[in-house]
Amino acid sequence: MKPAWRDELLTEYAGLADKLERLLPCLEVPMHLPWIDAIQALKRERGAVVMAHSYQSPEIFHGVADVTGDSLALAQAAADCDAGVVVLCGVHFMAETAKILAPHVKVLIPDALAGCSLADSITAADVRMLRARHPGAPVVTYVNTSADVKAESDACCTSANAVQVVEAMGADKVIFLPDRYLGAHVASQTDVQLVLWDGRCEVHETFTAAQARHARERFDARLVAHPECPPEVLAEADFVGSTSAMGAWLEREQPERVALITECSMADNLRLRFPATEFIKPCNLCPHMKRITLPNIHACLRDLVPEVTVPEDVAIRARRALERMLAVGRGERI
Ligand code: 13P
Ligand code: SF4
């Protein structure tokens, strides 16, 4: 049942309402406040931490999240987490990653069907087949994969550290899975030979070079693209980077106008940090990320389901691959 409206919500959440009104249609904000208030109360009651990926809608990202960031930041936060309950507002592989890195924590995902086309593109049997075909080549797997696939891998990476992890393997040839476009981008930045798979992100693969050029020519915007976009789109971009690298680039460049060629919520969530920059939105929505809503976060905290679990034998092997990625980030040899 929807939590009731109270007039005091507007004063209790004045700062948040002001932020959200700059990002959402203003009539939507009073609809969100009762849910936000009820979720905050349940969080306290359950001792829960809410983690949200940068592709979550502003009412989630700004309204209820305790930790926000890209998939690397969420993995690091999960590894350091001492809460009893984590609600992962993102897609299923992110919740699995949290569970693998924090096995003592109850990890919940508000909609268990929030998947990912990249994670669906490859199975553990595919990884074993590639190993047999390329004996001795280590396997580096993007975190956008199932726990079963991570368990077959030597190390994981995210789009923020892919080149670093590939080079840390110390091999001339690396099997890099499963995103073909991210793989091609990494290959352009290293001497290591990469064996690629044909996985694609259904959100980023649909961007075209013509759209990117239009954003630049029509709006005089600088272009920033996620490495999951096709190579001809990346060729148009002023900067290519993961969601966290996009924020760092904006910090450095402070452009007057920018087009973020990625999921739509990314620009919404960065806009408050960069009030002097105008964000053009040649963006696509990720249907999986958008399955997460305030009502299902509320239901998940109330009922403590759906819980994400990973069989222990799989978790042990997948954790080794994830921990090697985190070790590279700390500058350790792996
Ligand atoms: P990041 O690794 O940049 O957070 O991206 C995750 C993702 O799902 C991109 O589509
Ligand atoms: Fe997967 Fe693409 Fe959605 Fe990211 S944006 S979760 S890679 S489908």
Full residue range of the structural domain in which residue 272 is found: 209-280
Q: What is the pLDDT of residue 26?
A: 87
Q: Are residues 246 and 323 in the same domain?
A: no
**216 in a structural domain:** yes
* Per-residue H/E/C for 43-80: HHHHCEEEEEECCCCHHHHCCCCCEEECHHHHHHHHHC
Q: Do 172 and 190 touch, CB atoms closer than 8 A? A: no
Cα gap 228→204, rounded to integer Å: 6
Tell me: pLDDT of 228 over 80: yes
Q: Are residues 134 and 257 in the same domain?
A: no
Q: Are residues 320 and 196 in the same domain?
A: yes
Tell me: pLDDT of 282 over 80: no
How much is the average pLDDT of 63-68?
Answer: 98
**249 in a structural domain:** yes
Cα gap 272→248, rounded to integer Å: 14
Q: Is 116 annotated as a binding residue?
A: yes
Q: Are residues 221 and 239 in the same domain?
A: yes
How much is the average pLDDT of 95-116?
Answer: 97
Q: Encode pLDDT of 125-160 as tens digits.
A: 999 999 999 999 999 999 999 999 999 999 999 999
Protein residues with CB under 6 Å of any ligand 2 atom: 91, 116-118, 144, 201-204, 228, 263, 286, 288-289
Produce one character per residue of 147-157: b if its CB has 16 or more CB atoms within 10 Å, e if not: bbbbbbbbbbb
The CATH number given to whatever domain includes residue 167 is 3.40.50.10800
How much is the average pLDDT of 296-318?
Answer: 98
**248 in a structural domain:** yes
Which atom of ligand 1 approaches the CA of 54 most closely? 4
Q: What percent of the chain has pLDDT over 70?
A: 100
Which atom of ligand 1 approaches the CA of 144 most closely? 8
Tell me: pLDDT of 10 over 80: yes
Q: Which residue's CA is minimally distant from atom 6 of ligand 2? A: 116
State in Å: Cα 5 to ligand 1 middle: 35
**276 in a structural domain:** yes
Which stretch of 167-176, 263-272, 285-294 has the lowest confidence by average pLDDT?
Answer: 263-272
Q: Are residues 269 and 137 in the same domain?
A: no
How much is the average pLDDT of 268-293?
Answer: 94
Q: Is 81 annotated as a binding residue?
A: no
Q: Encode pLDDT of 237-246 as tens digits.
A: 999 999 889 9
Q: Are residues 131 and 183 in the same domain?
A: yes
Q: Are residues 47 and 65 in the same domain?
A: yes
Q: What is the pLDDT of residue 283?
A: 83
**16 in a structural domain:** yes
pLDDT category at 281 given cuts 50, 70, 90 is: confident
Q: Are residues 234 and 194 in the same domain?
A: no
Q: What is the pLDDT of residue 77?
A: 95
Q: Is 293 annotated as a binding residue?
A: no
Mean pLDDT of the chain: 96
Q: What is the pLDDT of residue 221?
A: 96
**70 in a structural domain:** yes
Q: What is the pLDDT of residue 125?
A: 98
End-to-end CA distance of the chain: 50
Mutation probe of ligand 2 site: the residue of 117, 158, 243 with most atoms within 8 A of C-beta = 117
Which atom of ligand 2 approaches the CA of 288 most closely? 3
pLDDT category at 229 given cuts 50, 70, 90 is: very high
Q: Are residues 92 and 51 in the same domain?
A: yes
Q: Are residues 130 and 169 in the same domain?
A: yes
Q: Are residues 222 and 125 in the same domain?
A: no
**4 in a structural domain:** no
Model pTM score:
0.96
**1 in a structural domain:** no
Query: How many domains does the chain contain in total?
Result: 3
Which stretch of 33-37, 122-126, 290-294, 330-334 has the lowest confidence by average pLDDT?
Answer: 330-334
Q: What is the pLDDT of residue 56?
A: 97
Residue 243, ligand 1, Cβ within 6 A? yes
Q: Are residues 248 and 124 in the same domain?
A: no
pLDDT category at 333 given cuts 50, 70, 90 is: confident
Q: Which residue's CA is minimally distant from atom 1 of ligand 2? A: 116
Q: What is the pLDDT of residue 72?
A: 86
Can you read off the two tokens belonging to residue 296? 């299902």
State in Å: Cα 109 to ligand 1 middle: 17
Using CB atoms within 10 A of its CB, is residue 142 exposed (0-12), middle (13-18) or buried (19+)? buried
Residue 144, ligand 1, Cβ within 6 A? yes
How much is the average pLDDT of 264-290?
Answer: 93
Q: What is the pLDDT of residue 307?
A: 98
